[in-house]
A = this chain, B = another copy of it.
Amino acid sequence: MKHKATKGRQANPPCMATSLHVVEIDKLKTACSSCSLHELCLPAGLTPDEIKSVDQLVNRRRQVKRGEHLYRSGTPLQALYAIRTGFMKSCVLHEDGREQVAGFHMMGELMGMDAIGTNQHLCDAVALEDSDVCEIPLDDLESMSRQIPSLQQHFHRVMSREIARDYGVMLLLGSMRAEERLAAFLLNLSQRFAARGYSSTEFHLRMTREEIGSYLGLKLETVSRALSHFHAQEVIAVQNKHLRILKIDSLRELVGQHNCRA
């Protein structure tokens, strides 16, 4: 529980990847410097030298197959995880076994921060497609951020942004109507895909309608109906999980105006 000044852990087993060449495994270890995500991820804004130091933090990568858990609620916090590729959800669990999706996470995002306070994970993290995450032991991150102020600062920003995101979700759940929620959700996805260099108007929904509904505080039927309605209005084009935004401004207008639920 006390701070350990562990600095790098070269002795760890290389990784759990299954069928990779040695060369690739080696590349895996020198993560951040060569990672295309370092402008989005934890090392954002660091100098190349600093990023080299951060490489030592990410000593292990882990593959999580579609449907598998990265961690489970109640489990002790082992590390934080940065998503390198793939798509995940986190679910908060009710005492009575029911669950609610608390967020969807894509590459460059950090998961597990909710567990720092109690050292126990509060949610399940489940891969919605085959994913690849970097394991970042918290102790190491803390000791390194004592040495690299800009890393420390960036880590704080990342945590803070998670809080800000949560406030946005609270707003959505507390005061938006079904179609507004869905519009806000689609705009959010769009923007995040765009930030990663993907199309902001055409993408694949990796989650089911039920998962979208759980996240938005709606039933799957309502999600389906709202999508159909948007489709009928030609605001979007949906076919199963493939989605294209046709009139992004219409979505924006929808989110802006709160007809109901003052």
A residues contacting B by CB (< 8 A) are 2-3, 92, 94-96, 98, 100, 102, 113-118, 122-123, 138, 142-143, 145-147, 149-150, 152-153, 156-164, 166-171, 173-175, 214-217, 219, 256-258, 261-262
Shortest CB distance A152–B (Å):
6
- Cβ contacts A to B, 9 pairs, < 8 Å: A92-B167, A114-B160, A117-B164, A142-B156, A143-B149, A145-B146, A170-B170, A174-B215, A219-B261
* Minimum CB distance partner of A262 in chain B: B98
List, in ascending order, chain B residues with CB within 8 A of A262's CB. Answer: 98, 219
**How far, in angstroms, from A13 to B68 measured CA to CA in the complex?**
56
Partner of A159, one of B118, B159, B173, B175: B159
**How far, in angstroms, from A169 to B70 measured CA to CA in the complex?**
24
Interface of A is mostly: helix
Contact B161 A117 (CB under 8 A): yes
List, in ascending order, chain B residues with CB within 8 A of A164's CB. Answer: 114, 117-118, 122
* Minimum CB distance partner of A151 in chain B: B3
Given contacts A166-B167, A167-B166, contact A175 B94 (CB under 8 A): yes
List, in ascending order, chain B residues with CB within 8 A of A216's CB. Answer: 174
Partner of A157, one of B98, B116, B161, B261: B116
Given contacts A116-B157, A118-B164, A160-B113, contact A256 B170 (CB under 8 A): no
Contact A94 B170 (CB under 8 A): no
Partner of A170, one of B3, B159, B169: B169
**How far, in angstroms, from A260 to B146 measured CA to CA in the complex?**
48
Contact B256 A173 (CB under 8 A): no
Partner of A258, one of B92, B94, B102, B118: B94
Shortest CB distance A101–B (Å):
8
Given contacts A146-B152, A167-B122, A174-B100, contact A160 B116 (CB under 8 A): yes
Shortest CB distance A45–B (Å):
9
Closest 10 CB pairs of A and B: A116-B160, A166-B166, A3-B149, A174-B217, A173-B173, A117-B160, A117-B161, A117-B157, A114-B163, A146-B146
**How far, in angstroms, from A100 to B175 measured CA to CA in the complex?**
8
Contact B146 A142 (CB under 8 A): no
List, in ascending order, chain B residues with CB within 8 A of A95's CB. Answer: 256
Given contacts A157-B116, A160-B115, contact A94 B152 (CB under 8 A): no
Shortest CB distance A220–B (Å):
10
Contact A98 B256 (CB under 8 A): no
List, in ascending order, chain B residues with CB within 8 A of A175's CB. Answer: 94, 98, 100, 214, 217
